[in-house]
Amino acid sequence: MATTNGVPSRRRPHVLVIPLPSRGHLLPLLDFAHRLSTRHGVPLTVAVTSSNLPLISAFLASTPLAAALPIEFPDASSPEHSSHRPPPGSHHALLAIHLPGFREPLLSWARSHPDPPTVVISDFFLGWAQHLADDLRVPRIVFYASGAFAVAALEHLWKGVLPLDPNSSPVVVLDSLPGSPAFPYDHVPSVVKKYVAGDPDWEFVREGFRLNATAWGAAVNTFDEMESEFLECLKRFFGHSRVWAVGPVADSGCRRAERSPEAEQLFSWLDACPPRSVVYVCFGTMYKPPPAQTAALGAALEASGARFIWAVGAGVAVLPEGLEERTAERGRVVRGWAPQVDILRHPAAGAFLTHCGWNSTLEGVAAGVVLLAWPMMADQFIDARLVVDLHGAAVQAAEGAAAVPDPGTLARVFADAVDGTKWADVRAKASALAAAAAEASEEGGSSWVALDGMVKELETAYASPLPIDHR
């Protein structure tokens, strides 16, 4: 290392960002990277597959110090690389299994670059990035696109997963977490259940989480006022204090592409709606509801009398016959990608029927709408527990991927959610949590201070003689 008067010189900061090439993981990591770069003048290089390059165009345009590093999946026609190419529609955890083939190209790029990276920041499903950081002798920060409660639950479960038996333990107690929360086995995160079922691919996923626990630091897309107890848990589990709550990170400015005519029409319609009068319905980008669920949901929206936006994504080919025509005055159906952050932040949005994926949960919390929780899989039952039971800012509407709720009951939930005279306590708690989220991200707020603290500790780390002590 170069020295000045015998004192080690500070290496120029340069962050290599490695996202999981899945929209729900890629976008929040880019939001975080944008905030890091624009606030602190940190240059970034984002490793991105060519298929995801269009997704980062708005990010690159709004982040002057960021550059893309296109990287390809190994050629599927090559026998030695065919196992690295993910099948179409892979679950994001299984997608991660195919990405360690990126390690060598990234290592070669870093070693030949005139300004090599001094920090690696990667998605939490990419535990193998720890080996890359070790090879480069730089600190790695794991970015958790899940909440602290869910991450702490996974850490507890991975440590005790071998004796976990759904037959003898129908209820799983997380006794190392505050309050010893208990969940039915069916509500345990999917990544753990897949491992317990004996699928060998999921051993790789577990090993990735083990590597995450050895990383230099962790940035979590949450805020202290929402999950302080669980953030303290993570510090205890990881054995250090370098755990930073940096959220909510959602930044529509670094995601926004030019609005389509359809989107313009949607927001013009929203502009004409009364405040807090619209129910927004979306189950994320990966979920494809079965026909019976679609029929029940459509019938409930129609019977509720409430204004609504139903973002069906690419998963619902056929809606209940005639629904759009019968509800044309008070409802809109969005096919494909919906500008969710902007919809939720619109003054007309009043409630959000959500699967409780963490991105959606936190975006709903930040917008101050009443969350109608319908958890289905993954960490969604944990997220629902957090907002429904621990914060009282949400109402349980249904649960389970196979659930087909009674349309009349669900219709009353929709109607009550946008009736300003009902659910006053839930509405007040949702507003208070939104205010806390906004305050956390403002100058001097907890997440603002955490990001500043992270940068200062990084500056100390990459100015020190290497190798880095990851513990």
Query: Residues with catalytic annotation?
Result: 25, 123
Kindly state the tokens that stand for 159. Answer: 């440590």
Largest CA distance in the chain: 78
CA-CA distance, 245 to 233, in Å (whole number)? 13
- ω into residue 467 within 30 of 0, thus cis? yes
Cα separation of the two ends of the chain: 22
- Copy the structure tokens of residue 37: 């770069």
| 3-state SS string for the chain | CCEECCEECCCCCCEEEECCCCHHHHHHHHHHHHHHHHHHCCCEEEEECHHHHHHHHHHHHHCCCEEEEECCCCCCCCCCCHHHCCCCCCCHHHHHHCCHHHHHHHHHHHHHCCCCCCEEEEECCCCCHHHHHHHHCCCEEEEECCCHHHHHHHHHHHHCCCCCCCCCCCEEECCCCCCCCEEEHHHCCHHHHHHHCCCCHHHHHHHHHHHHCCCCEEEECCCHHHHHHHHHHHHHHHCCCCEEECCCCCCHHHCCCCCCHHHHHHHHHHHCCCCCCEEEEECCCCCCCCHHHHHHHHHHHHHHCCEEEEEEECCCCCCCCCHHHHCCCCEEEEEECCCHHHHHHCCCEEEEEECCCHHHHHHHHHHCCEEEECCCCCCHHHHHHHHHHHCCCEEECCCCCCCCCCHHHHHHHHHHHCCCCCCHHHHHHHHHHHHHHHHHHCCCCHHHHHHHHHHHHHHHHHHCCCCCCCC
